[in-house]
Amino acid sequence: MTSLGWKESGSPMKVLLFGVLLSHLGTYMVVPLLPIFLKLEKGMTIAEIGLILAMSPFTFQAGSLLGGWLADLIGRRSIIAIGAWINAAAIVGFGVFDQLWMFISMGLLSGLGVGFNAPSTKAAIAALASEEGNKTTAFSLRGIAANIGIAIAGLFTYFILGGASTLIFYVSAGLYILLGIISWLMLPKGCGDEPCKSVPFHSYVEILKNKAFVVFSLVSILIWMLYTQLSLSLPLRAEAILPNPGAISLIWTVNAVIVVVLQTSISKWFIQKIHPMYSLCVGMLFIGGGLGSIYFATNFYGLLLSGAVFIIGEMFILPTMDATVSRLGTARMIGVFFGITNFISGIGEGAGKFAGGQLLSLGTSSVVPWLTFALGALVISGILAALRFWKPLQSSLAEIREEAGQAGK
């Protein structure tokens, strides 16, 4: 049997998108304020904060590979729910513990939980949006759902919970517990309309022969290294220049609203009309401009403008990355492909946060971190532009477009 069509997959898709909203609501109650909380409430240095935040991406790798494999073997519903509950336990730990080694442990545990949850959710979305023309739309909707959650998180954290307090960790964990329950009860059992089955080892070896996917994954490490800098650099800059650094959560709210308003238009008028590598090039230039401009910010509005520039780049990059992976991967092993992709992103994010922490330890008033981020974006954008003309990638994407055209006849 073939995967469900777009219209017929409505109910499971809605559950998945609502789960994306809940996970981002829970995550972004914590993410903008965690560096501030660790510095002011727990007494951690900037270098220690960078080390703590770098832990999650590393176990995110293992969780992604294991979670992707298990999702294809026993079904996505179970892995999505288990990942949510593991992350809930880790988030509570950040609020409870005080020692550096315990924060490192919670970071490792959180990465494992998100690694289980994220690739399984993306694989389920890709499977439901089985027709080629629906993939970009599906991942754009995923981005909108995610940013609705982020927008609510900033408002809720600042106006109701009062900023960087222990309470945000308990509420966030509760949302992840709810996510696990909803996923367990409302998503289809097993692997949807196809039987779950173990993937032979030689099939994994075949992935390494997919040159386009392998090279694209390696280049994406650089993208994730730079992309992850906002969650570390913006809060630390806010802590240095704002009288109330807790207001930083509102920047994530404004950014999320921008995504909700503009993502569909950007996808329709730009992403779907240009080559994926060009879309990524444009996104990296905006991300580099947003990060670099943080150096010149001296108040809340300056930080808000930097965040807005950054988020335009995000709107080009995230749906393009997910849609490209779903096109380069194979339907039978889509969970594994997204697991590998999240493994790669974990390497990039972990390395990026560690390197960012070291750069920012020079001081947020030093030009070095911000100039490094801006120049890095230019270099990565150039690499992506060159990749556009690499024949294996050209051939893979051309074959997919041809297959999609034949399927539509």
64 close to 340: Cβ distance less than 8 angstroms: yes
| Other beta carbons within 10 Å of 1 | 7
The pLDDT confidence band at residue 291, using thresholds 50, 70 and 90, is very high
Determine the pLDDT at residue 97. Answer: 92
The pLDDT confidence band at residue 330, using thresholds 50, 70 and 90, is low
Residue 115 has pLDDT above 70, yes or no: yes
State how far the Cα of 92 lies from the Cα of 105, in Å rounded to an integer: 12
Residues 6 or more apart whose Cβ sits within 8 Å of residue 31: 231, 252
Q: Which residues of 106-129 are buried (b: 16+ CB within 10 A; e: fewer)?
A: bbbbbbbbbbbbbbbbbbbbbbbb
45 close to 171: Cβ distance less than 8 angstroms: no
The pLDDT confidence band at residue 290, using thresholds 50, 70 and 90, is very high
Residue 256 has pLDDT above 70, yes or no: yes
What is the reported pTM? 0.78
Q: Which of 136-145, 157-166, 195-204, 377-386 has the lowest mean pLDDT?
A: 195-204
Helices then strands, counting H and E runs in the chain, come out as 16, 0
Determine the pLDDT at residue 404. Answer: 41
Determine the pLDDT at residue 356. Answer: 94
Residue 363 has pLDDT above 70, yes or no: yes
**Tens digit of each residue's pLDDT (9 = 90 or more) over 43-88:** 999 889 999 998 988 788 788 778 777 877 777 888 999 999 999 9
More confident residue, 2 or 128: 128
CA torsion sign for 286, 291, 292, 293 is positive
The pLDDT confidence band at residue 24, using thresholds 50, 70 and 90, is very high
State how far the Cα of 135 lies from the Cα of 156, in Å rounded to an integer: 32
**Tens digit of each residue's pLDDT (9 = 90 or more) over 160-207:** 777 657 899 999 999 999 999 999 998 887 665 566 666 665 666 777
For 18, 99, 319, the CA distances from 24, given in Å and listed in that order, are: 10, 27, 16
Mean pLDDT across 12-39? 92
Angle in degrees, CA 302, 303, 308, rounded to 5: 100
Share the mean pLDDT of the chain.
Answer: 85
Residue 339 has pLDDT above 50, yes or no: yes
Residue 335 has pLDDT above 80, yes or no: no
- Residue (of 42, 256, 33) closest to 157 by Cα position: 33
State how far the Cα of 268 lies from the Cα of 140, in Å rounded to an integer: 10
Q: Which of 157-161, 216-220, 383-387 has the lowest mean pLDDT?
A: 157-161
Determine the pLDDT at residue 21. Answer: 95
Burial tier of 319 (Cβ tally within 10 Å: 0-12, 13-18, 19+): buried
Determine the pLDDT at residue 380. Answer: 97
330 close to 243: Cβ distance less than 8 angstroms: no
Mean pLDDT across 376-381? 97
Owner of token pair 């880790």: 90
How far apart, in Å, do the first and last CA atoms of the chain sit? Answer: 19
The pLDDT confidence band at residue 393, using thresholds 50, 70 and 90, is confident
Residue 240 has pLDDT above 70, yes or no: yes
Q: What is the chain's alpha carbon radius of gyration, rounded to the nearest angstrom?
A: 20
Domains and CATH numbers, the chain: 10-194+208-407 (1.20.1250.20)
34 close to 48: Cβ distance less than 8 angstroms: no
Q: Which of 155-159, 213-217, 372-376 has the lowest mean pLDDT?
A: 155-159
The pLDDT confidence band at residue 7, using thresholds 50, 70 and 90, is very low
Q: Which of 16-30, 296-310, 321-335, 343-357 has the lowest mean pLDDT?
A: 321-335
The pLDDT confidence band at residue 267, using thresholds 50, 70 and 90, is confident
28 close to 153: Cβ distance less than 8 angstroms: yes
* Percentage of the chain modeled with pLDDT above 90: 49
Determine the pLDDT at residue 409. Answer: 42
* Percentage of the chain modeled with pLDDT above 70: 86
Mean pLDDT across 371-380? 97
